[in-house]
Amino acid sequence: MIYRKITEKLDKWRLSSRRKPLILRGARQVGKTTTVHEFSKKYAQYIYVNLERDEFFAIFNENHSLDIIVEKLFFKTKQDPRNNDTLLFIDEIQVSPKAINLLRYFYEDYPQYHVIAAGSLLETILEEKVTIPVGRVSYMVMRPICFEEYLHTKNHPNLLEQYLKLPYDAFAFDILQRYFHEYAQVGGMPEVLNHYVENQTLFGINDIYQEIVTSYINDVDKYARNATMVQVLRYAIEHIGVEAGKRIKFQNFANSNYRSREVGESLKMLERSLLIHLIYPTVSSSIPIFSDTKKSPRLQMLDTGLMSFSAGITGELIGVKNLSDVYKGRILEHIVGQELLAQKFEPLDKLHFWTSEKVGSEAEIDFIIQRGFDVIPIEVKSGASGHLKSLMNFMDTVNHHWAVRLWGKQLDIHKAKTTKGKEFTLLNLPYFLAGRLEQYIDWFMQNYPQDSQN
């Protein structure tokens, strides 16, 4: 069983006095059902309802009150309705909008039971067909397996301890780097990872990825509004791996003849389904951070392994020494984005990158992160600090003196200076620590206070 960090969030939900029915969101095949099955072991009773099975679908869609539905569920599954330590998991709930609407009444009439709902394409259904009153349900997002979860599968507690130690010991660098490269090859889709762990070979994972992509394409008919959208969605799914990791234009996306509006609607639908993320830039270097949706977004795919398969470059990762050298650095930047997203469990959580507002300027920072009242720039590069032109431009716009670069070398902290003479402290962090970035930034800011710059 693969350890999933979201289980800790589910535990807090389970123990909360303000618990509401939970809608677990996530793209197809990221492990939602398996995770809830494992989580159910914390309860005295577990009722699993899959609404793609006719007998359960009928229970929810007959003209019955919630009282009758609950009574039927407990009777059919041979569970005791008097036992409040019960988890009810309604899977594939997207097939029944009525069942989704009933979640609010579980909160009002049956707060003693713990209710989780999940399903494929649920995000599209929620967006277009169902309105749940605010405050009646809560949401949580599940994403592909992250590097920390991957390390759990290696059964190497000392290595995991080093990954979580702040800062890590220098002797652990080589093996952590090697495992991160391995993780980048395999990706974070649970079925692929299970295959790799069991067989210890990359042979066969492309077949699984092909099945996953095919399942996404087959889903298109279920939520496309018309024949044109079916075509655009299928084309987009087939080409997002090639376009991922770079800024895109909707017009003629991936060398197609499709118009901006057609592509925009389709990509936004894929984003609601959490298959992709459209990361928009901001021109602000201070809080609050606002995305500029008039500018071209950067395309982030669900999983880097899936991206590599779709782009046909999985083999290029074998034996690589530095991910910066692969696919013009796009694999590294993409997996950093994936690691950052993997630490976020709220539906509204987003990534941001920065571009200069000066006309004609090409200055661009790969990611920015807010810590306290400061916006910290994150560059994903392997070059020397003197080559970080965009970082220098950004640092001249802020009042603080902290910057971060993710690279393929040991942790290093040194002073740098912009072309305008501003001194700042640069944290050079191994890119395998992207998932620990916020913890390292907090440690960095505490140990290198701004007063020391004066």
Give Cα 370 to chain centroid, integer Å. Answer: 18
The sheet carrying 364-365 orders its strands as: 281-282, 353-355, 364-365
Which residue matches tokens 């990158």? 353
> Residue 130 has what pLDDT?
65
Token pair of 245, please? 């990791």
Is the Cα dihedral 255, 258, 259, 263 positive or negative? Answer: negative
The residues spanned by each domain of the chain are 6-141, 353-453
Q: What is the pLDDT of residue 119?
A: 85
Looking at residue 449, its pLDDT comes to 87
What's residue 387's pLDDT? 72
Q: What is the pLDDT of residue 364?
A: 94
Nearest to 326 by CA among 302, 308, 342: 308
Cα 174 to Cα 87, 156, 163, 179, 440, distances in angstroms: 43, 15, 12, 9, 19
pLDDT of amino acid 454: 42
Q: Which of 222, 225, 189 is nearest to 205 (CA)?
A: 189
So what's the pLDDT on residue 131?
65
Fold of domain 6-141: Rossmann fold (3.40.50)
Query: 3-state SS string over the chain?
Result: CCCCCHHHHHHHHHHCCCCCCEEEECCCCCCHHHHHHHHHHHCCEEEEEECCCHHHHHHHHCCCCHHHHHHHHHHHCCCCCCCCCEEEEEECHHHCHHHHHHHHHHHHHCCCCEEEEECCCHHHHHHHCCCCCCCCCEEEECCCCCHHHHHHHCCCHHHHHHHHCCCCCHHHHHHHHHHHHHHHHHCCCHHHHHHHHHHCCCCCHHHHHHHHHHHHHHHHHHHCCCHHHHHHHHHHHHHHHHHCCCECCCCCHHHCCCCHHHHHHHHHHHHHCCCEEEECEECCCCCCCCCCCCCCCEEEECCHHHHHHHHCCHHHHCCCCCHHHCHHHHHHHHHHHHHHHHCCCCCCCCCCEEECCCCCCCCEECEEEEECCEEEEEEECCCCHHHCHHHHHHHCCCCCCEEEEEECCCCEEEEEECCCCCEEEEEEEEHHHHHHHHHHHHHHHHHCCHHHHC
Question: 10 Å Cβ neighbour count for 255?
Answer: 8
Q: Which amino acid is at 363?
A: A
pLDDT in tens, the chain (454 residues): 789 999 999 999 999 999 999 999 999 999 999 999 999 999 999 999 999 998 999 999 888 899 999 999 999 999 999 999 999 999 999 888 889 889 989 999 999 999 999 987 766 655 665 666 568 899 999 999 999 999 999 888 899 999 999 999 999 999 999 999 999 999 999 999 999 999 989 899 999 999 999 999 998 887 788 899 999 999 999 999 999 999 999 999 999 999 999 999 999 999 988 999 999 999 999 999 999 999 999 999 999 999 999 999 988 888 888 998 889 899 999 999 999 999 999 988 999 999 998 876 789 999 999 999 999 999 998 655 557 899 999 999 999 999 999 999 999 999 999 999 999 999 999 999 999 999 999 999 999 887 544 4
